[in-house]
Amino acid sequence: MRPALPALLVLACLAGPPAAASPSGLHEVKPGETLALIAGRALGDSRLWPAIYAANRDRIKDPARVYPGQQLAIPALSEGEREAARREAEARPLRALEDAAPRE
């Protein structure tokens, strides 16, 4: 016996977006952490910080500043996305952004 179409639609809605579109996890920022440090620990390469910044633009105003307690999405990245993030990190080094950021 085949399930009814409405039941399948409900199940599809509950399943959410495809796995490739979902983040690989959340990270709570600890004191002293930077996007580069988080990228190194969570994604295995500190140069992937632009990908974390892009995934959290609604939570991060300035990529040179993250704050303890912030919950950041850690995106799942294809190899192409990893390469694009590395190119962006080379063009826009986080250290330069940190040095230029106004102190509070």
* The pLDDT value given to residue 93: 85
Q: Is residue 12 part of a domain?
A: no
Structure pTM? 0.69
Q: Is residue 10 part of a domain?
A: no
Q: What would the pLDDT profile of 3-34 be if each residue is shown by its tens digit? A: 444 443 343 444 433 333 334 699 999 999 99
CATH of the domain at 87: 3.10.350.10
Count how many domains the chain has.
1
Q: Is residue 55 part of a domain?
A: yes
Q: Give the domain extent around 78.
A: 24-99
Cα(99)–Cα(94) distance, integer angstroms:
9
Decide if 71 is inside a domain.
Answer: yes
Q: Which two tokens stand for residue 39?
A: 């990228």
Q: Exposure of 46 by Cβ count < 10 A (0-12 exposed, 13-18 middle, 19+ buried)? A: middle
The pLDDT of residue 81 is above 60: yes
Q: How confident is the model at residue 94 (pLDDT cuts 50, 70, 90)?
A: confident
